[in-house]
Amino acid sequence: MSDPIDEVDPFADLDDPTIPAVGASGSVAGSGASGPSAGRGDRTDRAPRRRVAPPPVFLVSTRLPTRVRDEIRIATGAMGALAVDLSDGMSLPPGAVAVVGVLPAGARRVPPDLARLAARSALRLVLCSVEQMARPVTTLLGGRVILIAPPFDPQRLRWGLRAAAVGVAEAARFGGDAGQSLSAEWWLAWARQPGHPAAVQAIESAIDITVVAGPGCTPELAEQAGDVIRTAADDEALERDLTSTVGDNPAMRLAATLGEWIVYWPSVGSELWLCSPWRAPAEWCVSRGIAASGRRVSHIPAYPHDVMILCDHPPTVEAMVAAVERGPTEAYAVLRTAAAETRLFGALLEAR
């Protein structure tokens, strides 16, 4: 983004440019275009009608100025979609694909309330930027966050809304004996010696990544774990549901935008370390701390440059922890070298 705009602020009529919880109304703000209905005749040999999927629904923050919401109604109507005002505590309507909100001037992170909603529901985020940008529409995190620059005319809004209307959370679907997944918010890398039964799978939603590791891990298992973490009412339910879902396989979720790690650590034959230049001590054995607590779940604040290191070979763990001071790529190089010579499995996840 460039410097804040010097012309008329497109959100000047907002009392507060930040986003509070949500808007006040849950009424439908726009209607979708429907095609002509099928004619009704007396023929009985007519082919069965295909079930029509619900139109895409965009949840629109009522903190957006009225004129912008009016333009969103026009844009969604032209797309055959619906615009629904976002209200506190509302249930997600069928077909909901994204939340439309505002990115305040000077902000460089997703507004926390919208980030939390997206993390719990896997909705995409469409943010109308107060500041001018180099391009009319910019996509981040593989299209999970879409930024729209002013002015907010229907055509420009349609570009951004269409980008949000396609695709869902994606599984990394690792194969072979090593893999990596890189985004603006995290870097995940893993390796094993050929023939080792453990593996890593991950699911990446709008603003978080959920990782499961161990024997028999599949992309479907990662998706189930991500759903459990997003929907569990409390830690007791989270621990119970993850135990029934992933069993003795460890799992972790990083939501860098929300600044949180959630770690599920059963009694397994490996170690988990958290390394960070912003913590004291700079290296901490998370698995040992969770085991001492008598529980399986831990919530840990997440900071930029945090690195979680998991490995089932203690000498390699020690070498990775020492190497991460020179950078996470150095730690991964240690893991790849060790995996070529030793029967082991390991992974690291960095908050960027």
Task: Give residue 166's pLDDT.
Answer: 60
Kindly state whether residues 125 and 248 are assigned to the same domain.
Answer: no
Kindly state whether residues 117 and 190 are assigned to the same domain.
Answer: no
Taking 70 as the threshold, does the pLDDT of residue 61 lie above it?
Answer: yes
Kindly state whether residues 114 and 206 are assigned to the same domain.
Answer: no
69 assigned to some structural domain: yes
Kindly state whether residues 105 and 232 are assigned to the same domain.
Answer: no
Which of residues 52 and 9 earns the better pLDDT score? 52
Task: Give residue 30's pLDDT.
Answer: 35
51 assigned to some structural domain: no
23 assigned to some structural domain: no
Per-residue pLDDT, averaged over 294-299, amounts to 94
Structural domain boundaries, residue 235:
170-351
User: Helix (H, G, I), strand (E, B), or coil: what is residue 271?
Assistant: strand
Contact 31, 58 (CB under 8 A): no
Of 135-144, 150-159, 171-180, 305-314, the one with minimum mean pLDDT is: 135-144
* pLDDT tens digits along 297-338: 999 999 999 999 999 999 999 999 999 999 999 999 999 999
C-alpha to C-alpha distance for 298 and 289, rounded to whole angstroms = 9
* pLDDT tens digits along 196-243: 999 999 988 656 899 999 998 988 899 899 888 877 888 999 999 999
- Taking the CB of residue 198, how many other CB atoms lie within 10 A of it? 21
C-alpha to C-alpha distance for 143 and 124, rounded to whole angstroms = 8
Task: Give residue 18's pLDDT.
Answer: 34
Q: How many domains does the chain have?
A: 2
Q: Tell me which DSSP letter residue 4 carries.
A: P
Kindly state whether residues 160 and 205 are assigned to the same domain.
Answer: no
Kindly state whether residues 75 and 221 are assigned to the same domain.
Answer: no
Kindly state whether residues 207 and 336 are assigned to the same domain.
Answer: yes
Percentage with pLDDT > 90 across the chain: 46
Which of residues 267 and 43 earns the better pLDDT score? 267
Kindly state whether residues 151 and 175 are assigned to the same domain.
Answer: no
Kindly state whether residues 151 and 203 are assigned to the same domain.
Answer: no
Average pLDDT, the chain: 80
Task: Give residue 114's pLDDT.
Answer: 85
Contact 95, 55 (CB under 8 A): yes
Task: Specify the CATH number for the domain of residue 61.
Answer: 3.40.50.2300
Contact 208, 254 (CB under 8 A): yes
Task: Give residue 92's pLDDT.
Answer: 85
Taking 90 as the threshold, does the pLDDT of residue 79 lie above it?
Answer: no
Task: Specify the CATH number for the domain of residue 332.
Answer: 3.60.40.10
Virtual torsion, Cα 236, 239, 243, 249, nearest 10 deg: -170
16 assigned to some structural domain: no
* pLDDT tens digits along 245-293: 999 999 999 987 668 899 999 977 899 999 999 898 999 999 999 999 9
Taking 80 as the threshold, does the pLDDT of residue 69 lie above it?
Answer: yes
Q: Which residues contact 146 (CB under 8 A, 6 or more apart)?
A: 98, 124, 125, 126, 127, 137, 138, 139, 140, 160, 163, 164
Contact 254, 274 (CB under 8 A): no
Which of residues 170 and 276 earns the better pLDDT score? 276
Chain position carrying tokens 């909100």: 101
- In this prediction, residue 173 has a pLDDT band, given cuts at 50, 70 and 90, of low
C-alpha to C-alpha distance for 199 and 100, rounded to whole angstroms = 37
243 assigned to some structural domain: yes
- End of a domain among 164, 195, 228? 164
Virtual torsion, Cα 142, 145, 150, 156, nearest 10 deg: 60
C-alpha to C-alpha distance for 29 and 336, rounded to whole angstroms = 54
- End of a domain among 164, 199, 233? 164
Taking 90 as the threshold, does the pLDDT of residue 50 lie above it?
Answer: no
Burial of 333 (0-12, 13-18, 19+ CB in 10 A): middle
Q: Tell me which DSSP letter residue 109 carries.
A: S
Per-residue pLDDT, averaged over 128-149, amounts to 79
21 assigned to some structural domain: no
Q: 198 - beta bridge partners?
A: 215
- End of a domain among 140, 164, 188? 164
Vertex 205 angle, CA 175 and 166, to 5°: 95
**Rg, Å, the chain Cα set:** 23
Per-residue pLDDT, averaged over 91-97, amounts to 87
C-alpha to C-alpha distance for 351 and 242, rounded to whole angstroms = 23
